[in-house]
Structure 1
Amino acid sequence: MPPIEMGPTRPIGAVDVRIARQAGGFRETAKSTGSESSAVALSDALDPGEAPVDADRVEVIKRAVETGQYPVLPTKIADAMIAAGLLLRKGQ
């Protein structure tokens, strides 16, 4: 079997920020901690925005849990966990 030839190795290091700047569509923020300064490139495309949370419903559930009126049914919880696991395995 012939030997596998590899090119010269490069040391593993941080991503070069200049490449990210050249790609465009990024905003740059500088965070200063003492004598160090680091730049982080953030993309608006990856910003998920606000989470869709119904605050009124959350308060109702919190009050029900605090007063002991929220029904905790172990069989329903177990069934939901098993179903979620099956869905993850099928990839749906």
Structure 2
Amino acid sequence: MPPIEMGSTSALGAINARLARAVGKPESAANAGVTSLSAWAESPAVEASAALDPGTAPVDAERVAMIRKAVENGTYPVIPTQIADAMIAAGVLLRSHGE
């Protein structure tokens, strides 16, 4: 079996500010990257569409309050077999959708 040869490796370091500058905005060497990086960080990279907004989550506040009260009182039923079955079913669903 032939030996495995590796090329030269170089150490990783900080990002060069000159490479991170916004395109088309020349800067002096004294403040290279300072204003362009801050302007770049403040500008939105992607505009969200209203069509993709899911709206508010459908939460039954009354049911949530009832469950919280039962947990606080110690009367919420914890059935290990049901919890295990739900965890297994969730794992099966995740694996089946990935294929």
TM-score range, shorter chain: 0.5 to 0.7
Paired position in structure 2 for 1:38: 42
In the TM superposition, what whole-angstrom CA distance separates every residue of 1:33-72 from its partner, at most 9, and x where no partner exists? xx85723223212211000000000000000000000001
SS of 1:85's partner is helix
Query: TM-score, normalising length from structure 2?
Result: 0.52
Residue 53 (1) aligns with residue 59 (2) = yes
Q: Where does structure 1 lack aligned partners over 5 or more consecutive residues?
A: 1-10, 15-34
Paired position in structure 2 for 1:89: 95
Q: Could you list the runs of 4 or more consecutive aligned residues of structure 1 that deviate by over 3 angstroms after TM superposition?
A: 11-14
Which one has a bigger Cα radius of gyration?
Answer: 2
In 1, the alpha carbon distance for the partners of 2:93 and 2:21 equals 38
Aligned-CA RMSD value = 2.9
How many residue pairs were aligned?
62
Identity, in percent, stands at 60
Q: Where does structure 2 lack aligned partners over 5 or more consecutive residues?
A: 1-18, 23-37
